[in-house]
Amino acid sequence: MIKLIEDYLNAFREELKGSDRATIQDALSDAEDHLSTALDIELSENPEETKEEAVKNIIGRYGDPEEVAEHYRNVEKYTTPALSSGKRPRSGISAFCGVIADPSAWAAMLYMILSMATGIIYFTWAVTGFSVSASLIVLIIGVPLAWLFFLSFRALAFVEGRIVETLLGARMPRRAIFISKGEGWWGSIKGIFSTGSTWSSFIYLILMLPLGVLYFTVFITLTAVSLSLIADPILELVLKVPVMDIPEAWWTPVWLMPFVVLAGVVLFLSTLHLAKATGKLHGKLARTMLVSG
């Protein structure tokens, strides 16, 4: 990458200060991709031009850093994730009960249930790729193979980011981090392994297995218990199945059943609140580890 483009990107980054980190990553990736591609085209169409002249021409067409940054700030207002903001009911009781109609709570619950499956996929691919790369690194084929695996880790992290934004409402990048194509194989390899986001994405993929198992276990258990309490009258009076599975079958007295059902409803609503709160915390973790600094 020539110095003039680096200077432009540095000025662009300064103009974007205060914007969302994901927006900054998208803007810088777009700019670097556009300028690098346009530079190759400019030099091929006008071989008499120097690189400095070509860079000045394409930057002039792309726009000043201030103008382009303002454009991205305006676009950012219309790219807020659909589940990132929701109206809270006024009173405490309606706030607690209103979660049943909150799409973000149900989406977070879905993420918690799916997280074990995605965690297994991420963990298996990351560990397999790292192990194979490490074992073959001494061979000629090992370096490009490791490059491909780590490139796939970044792709998986990008996919996970889209899932996080869709289900948890955390603003994640809509563009993958640009990798320069003009520095040859060695430059691309160095770019992958020297970027902090590559390693943080790799660690995130590893962490998703224990987190996914934890999320799945906790929320499936809470949901199953709450639904069994809600269905207590049907289970015991109609199907003759005791709610408490112990050696001596324990049957709920009829007068106690409304309170058992109420306890199940409260537990289910609390589970939705817990899913929503856990989703916000996980969204912050994903933004910390998957969004470039």
- The kind and range of the H/E element at 23 are helix 21-45
Predicted pLDDT of residue 107: 95
Q: What is the pLDDT of residues 91-126, one digit of tens each?
A: 678 888 888 988 999 999 999 999 999 999 999 999
Dihedral of alpha carbons 12, 13, 16, 20, sign? positive
- The reported pTM is 0.81
H helices of 169-195, in order, are 184-193
Which tokens sit at 207?
């962490």
For residues 15 and 17, give the distance between their C-alpha atoms in angstroms, rounded to a whole number: 6
pLDDT band for position 47 (50/70/90)? Answer: confident
Q: What is the share, in percent, of the chain residues with pLDDT greater than 70? A: 83
| Amino acid (one-letter) located at 218 | V
